[in-house]
Structure 1
Amino acid sequence: MKKLTFLFLFVSININSQSNYPKDYFSNPLNIELILNGTFGELRPSHFHSGIDFKTKFKEGLDVYSSAEGYVSRISIKHGGFGKALYINHPNGYTTVYGHLKKFNKKIEDYIKRIQYEKKSYQIEHYLKQGILKIDKNEKIAFSGNTGSSFGPHLHYEIRLTKNQKVLNPQLFGFDIKDTRKPTISSLFLYNLDNLNNISNPIKLKIQKMNDSLYQSEKVFASGTIGFGISGFDRQDLANNKNGIYKYSTYYNDKKIIDFNFESFSFEESIKIKTLIDYKYYINNKSRIIKLFKDKGNDLSIYLNNKSGYIDVENSPSIYTIIVSDLKGNKSIVKIPIIKSDLINDSLKNIKLFASNKSINNKLDYNFKFENAEIKIAKNTFVKAVQLNIESLKDSIKIVNPEIAVFKNIKVNFFNKEKRKGNYLALKDKDGNESFATSNLNSKNYFYHKTKLLGTYFVKNDSIPPSIQLKNFKNNDWISNKNFIRFKILDNETGIKSYKIKINNKWTLFEYEYKRNELFYEFDNYFLNQTKNLIEVFIEDMVGNKTQKSFTFYRN
């Protein structure tokens, strides 16, 4: 392919919305230089990242400060999600969120621990009225941690509009994050659109980096309607981890085509990430392409204009330009020369249709009944008409098409043929991986399940109860010098459903860290010390198998 010569056209990056947010109201929530471990709007498996992640020097326990005065409006403690999280409402109409915390300050810890003991539950979702827990600006409110669905110590930080909980990009509020690095373009893809509005498989285009900000694509020969997709990442100055890109803009012969950024979004639309990326390509390749055009069902609020993003190829020569940029104005540009040609691209010829037996009109409700199963699919479960393979076999029910995204729950009922203790409904995905679906049975002995996961459902049995082991002392030990009690609990098949621990016949607040298969308790004011102490541990898995063990420890 011959190299192109072209005139570099400067296209300005206008991020005027940045001026709409107060730049000096919120202060640094950590008393260290801020380094990003994750950016706002980053693409996650099933949602957009709703905040920014600050590095905490690869450790837990750093002081976390309130970014402004206000009051604690919500305390959330979960095994997954944000783990221990704190929500603070501020007088200016914003809410800040601090997630994956190790613990709260004494004032907040005492308040929420009383409620946990009253409810006899570690997991809490508690909302507070104004005036109960007032917070000053720069008040130490917690310590950073790794709780919840976090796989390395960091602080998850959000800014929301209090009135509707819409999340906003915290970088728009003036935080000092050093960034002089331009986004990186990893891959570029071409899509064709036929007369029936069928989108082709992506065609990977060769790109060459011309300098620190300019990429040049090979020539594209096409006619009719086409679109492009892109893969890339951004880095800041003080870390090499790959973060998400803030803004995407495209131009065709200097006319703006599509423009979107990650300034804000609502939680309700986060699932529509599956319409922004090439979902089929992601499922098959475990890599994401951001489509620079709006596919069916994409009604995301991130777009700054109403255009579709597709282009109709004009007479030669023509240039398609992609500009990606960060919040500091660092940008990278891709130039794509397009030659109008009547040649039919092979990508339209090579589309492999999924082998299916059911055509689903997305505007209709469906109720498929079989001898041993029932499947209910409500209208708007998908974003367009789809093809499914739905098949009832002797011991399973198939609802298969791994290349499509599901946006509403599908109801699955499956007959529990053999009434055995420990039976459950399992799911096998396209790669043969099996997982627990449900153990819920209705009065007619059918498993009932709501799911967005397609695959093969079948009945499986788990007869093995969970295991319990002492971790940091032995039975009958003196532990006067220890601040914690730790257990290892494990269930190798369906997982842990619930746990309860009593010390001297009193419910005791143990935390469950599922990433370490650990239950632990820090001695607190609720512990009534005796020289000889009895611990009773009760564990139940997802199908009702139970294990109970008792241990004794001595403490002065």
Structure 2
Amino acid sequence: MLPSHLYAQYTPPLRGPLLVTGTFGELRSDHFHGGLDFRAAVGTPVYAVREGFVSRIKITGGGYGQAIYIDHPDGKRSVYGHLEVLAPELLDTIRSLQYARETFEVDLSLGAEDFPVTAGQRIGGVGNRGFSFGPHLHFEIRESATDAPLNPLSLGFTIPDTRTPQLRELKLYEFTEEGEPGATRIFNLLEKELPDTIRVRSDRVGFALKAFDRQNVMPNWNGIYGARILVDSVPVFSFTYDRIPYEKTEYLNALTDYVEWKRNKSWYYLLFARVPEAMFWKSVPDGSGTGVIRLPGNNPVAISAVVRDYAGNESIARFIVQRDRSSVSSAAPATPPDLPFQYFLPQGEASVIDTGGLRLELGEDALYAPLRFRYVRLVDESAGYLSDTHQLQDEETPLHGSGKLTLQPRAPIPERLRDKVYIGRCGKDGKFSSVGGEWLPDGGMMTRIKGFGDFAMLLDTLPPRIRIERFGTDLRRAAGFSLLIDNDEGGGLTYRGTVDDKWVLMEYDAKSGRLSHTFEGKLIAAGSSHRFELTVSDSRGNEARFERTFRR
């Protein structure tokens, strides 16, 4: 948190009320949210929060879309993402670079003398670019030296918040003798299902909360700032989201109930940690532990689960836990029997599985707990399948970082088809999406995977599909034109558009597959006919072409 005397040196990035639709540390798929989201209409002016200089401008079809980075004299860096509009001097530089390099995507680093800014200077406008699904400003504050995101609320912005967080559900975990979470129960706190005393069989228990935070004037259910759990008034686990380094953000999967997220899209904050490395917030000792609660004999213990927001509002769930192995009716359901498994993979050690047709290599930090690994090989000789399908564990088991996966084809692949082969991962709809793949000297194909699931070597000879969204033959009153690109297998796309054989800027929106061109200046002369040509290639080299003559 910044010292209070520095608060006044930061001004809000938007004028008027700051409408928060996403909080710092909010739970997202495989990562914590690294900033604050502010709702605003497209084009709403965005301002530098402090003096400094523009250190980076990044333009991409995904991610933050159009983003500006500003370095400040106190060692902080502010980030403004999903922008629709860039300040004219910045846009001119980006346009010149895009046309010089003949590419839409740009990642430009700048020096202190290139674009200095003052506090409150307009740098752009709110948008919906990149992986944004509604107009808003994504705002971050980071450490310049490490690029680690900090909680932007530490800057002292005025955001009225007198609402207490909402506690929706409490989840109980009874640990097995091996120290793994076993039987579970869920108590609906809104329906007041939490009893005064919870009776358990195990001598070790842990808890998780489904909880949300809201600010005064917004209906959004946002992520919480912090939580703690106390046993007989003594803290045994706590966290606050003030600083979340990027190299730690994936530990979200060890700090939440991953099965609930994958199965029900439901987030539970664990009030215990399964691996010490996940507790990134503990830069200094705070008196708390790992959150696993040991019950002393049959003596009852008083539990308090506390959730707080950044403004200091708290909500508390209080109850008693008592071990009672003789109580059958009130005990948690028995842990279901383990499914058959072929390999035991220890946590904290590197592992290799090699079956001949498959080789899976996992690093020592790949697992959050010892794993009884299930592997099934399914023979499938359907058209396009060049290998069997390999079922690796399941999608409800988190994989930290990535693993190296190598598959062998069922038969040697003809040279003319090698560039069309990829490793695909099967989704719930039965369709495969590309996870890439590189040929090895022994004839196998290797890629890196970020999760378990079903994988196979597949053949892709279908080019991307190009569809018209807005592209008439008479564009004299139009601001531009746009096309939609479909690429079912996924993987990277490359594209090149020309008008009268000269490269033109086609802006790509990854979430919709849209390629669009906006008429700017005199690059395409008005009052005459022009010939547009577009070539789109997927990651396997399949190519599609589109041509159209239009009048401007």
TM-score where L is the length of structure 1: 0.89
Contact preservation (8 Å) 2:423, 2:435: yes
CA contact (8 A) 2:235 2:288 kept: no
1:389 CA displacement: 1.9
SS for the counterpart of 1:202 is: strand
**1:385-428 deviations in Å (ceiling 9; x for gaps):** 21212344542223223332111321122234444474432112
Residues 342-381 of structure 1: CA distance to partner in whole angstroms, max 9, x if unpaired?
4477547324424310111234434433443332223322
Q: CA-to-partner distance for each residue in 1:186-230, whole Å, 9 max, x for gaps?
A: 1012222233212223211354678xxxx9644112462222111
1:356 partner SS: coil
User: 1:511 and 2:507 equivalent?
Assistant: yes
Q: Is 1:330 aligned to 2:313, yes or no?
A: yes
Q: 1:230-257 CA distances to partner (integer Å, 9 max, x unpaired)?
A: 1111111111110011121222112222
Paired residue for 2:389? 396
Root mean square deviation, CA, Å: 2.5
* Identity among equivalent pairs (%): 26
CA gap of 1:249–1:163, structure 2 versus 1, over 3 A, is: same
Within a 5 Å distance, the mapping from 1:437-456 to structure 2 comes to 437-438=435-436, 440-456=438-454
Q: For the Cα contact (< 8 Å) 1:275–1:298, is it kept in 2?
A: no
Give the Cα separation in 1 of the matches to 2:232 and 2:309.
23
Alignment partner, residue 468 of structure 1? 466
**Aligned with 2:318: secondary structure?**
strand
Q: Check the 8 A contact 1:494/1:543 in 2, yes or no.
A: no
Distance 2:253 2:215 in 1: 27
Stretches of structure 2 lacking an aligned partner (at least 5 in a row):
380-387
How many Å separate the matches in 2 of 1:76 and 1:22? 28
Name the residue aligned to 2:31.
Answer: 47
Once the two structures are TM-superposed, the CA of residue 125 in structure 1 deviates from its matched residue by: 1.6
1:343–1:52 Cα change, 3 Å? farther
User: Equivalent residue of 1:227, what SS?
Assistant: strand
- 2:86 corresponds to: 104
2:548 is matched with 551
1:51-450 to 2 correspondences below 5 Å: 51-56=35-40, 59-205=41-187, 207=189, 217-222=195-200, 224-303=203-282, 304-314=286-296, 316-343=299-326, 346-347=331-332, 349-394=334-379, 395-416=388-409, 417=411, 418-419=413-414, 420=417, 422-429=420-427, 432=430, 434-438=432-436, 440-450=438-448
What code does the residue aligned with 1:181 have?
A: R
Contact 1:216 1:335 in 2 (8 A): no
* Alpha-carbon distance between aligned partners in 2 of 1:21 and 1:282, rounded to the nearest angstrom: 41
Give the AA of the match of 2:27.
L
Structure 2: how far apart are the matches of 1:526 and 1:297? Answer: 60
Q: Does 1:482 align with 2:478?
A: yes
1:9 corresponds in structure 2 to: none
Shift in Å at residue 313 of structure 1? 2.4
Q: Cα–Cα, structure 1 residues 364 and 293, in superposed 2: closer, same or farther, change >3 Å? A: closer
- Cα distance change of structure 1 residues 192 and 18 upon mapping to structure 2, 3 Å threshold: farther
Alpha-carbon contact 1:248-1:324 (below 8 Å) kept: yes
- What is the distance in 1 between the residues matched to 2:175 and 2:338? 16
Size of the alignment, in residue pairs?
531
Pairwise CA distance, 1:132: 0.7
Counterpart secondary structure, 2:8: coil
Letter in 2 for 1:437: V
Distance apart, 1:280 and its partner CA: 2.7
The 3 A distance-change label for structure 1 pair 316 and 206 is farther
Q: Deviations over 1:433-483 (max 9, x none)?
A: 5322225434554332111221221133333322324433333x3x23322
Distance 1:269 1:281, change over 3 A: same
SS at match of 1:82: coil
1:299 Cα offset (Å): 3.0
Q: Is the deviation greater in 297-306 or in 402-411?
A: 297-306
CA shift digits 1:42-65 (9 cap, x unpaired): 000110000000001xx3111111
Amino acid at match of 2:389: S
Aligned AA (1:38): G
CA distance in 2, matches of 1:298, 1:205: 29
2:7 alignment partner, SS class = coil
Matched-pair contact (CA < 8 Å) for 2:67–2:81: yes
| Contact 1:425–1:438 (Cα < 8 Å) also in 2 | yes
CA distance in 2, matches of 1:336, 1:42: 27
Q: Which secondary structure state, in structure 1, belongs to the residue aligned with residue 390 of structure 2?
A: strand
User: 3-state DSSP class of the match of 2:32?
Assistant: coil
- Displacement of 1:87 after TM fit? 0.4
Alpha-carbon distance between aligned partners in 2 of 1:286 and 1:450, rounded to the nearest angstrom? 25
2:10 is equivalent to residue 26 of structure 1 = yes
Question: Is the contact made by 2:199 and 2:321 (CA closer than 8 Å) also made in structure 1?
Answer: yes
| Contact residue 436 and residue 494 of structure 1 kept, 8 A | yes
1:40 to 1:285, Cα distance in 2 relative to 1, 3 A: same
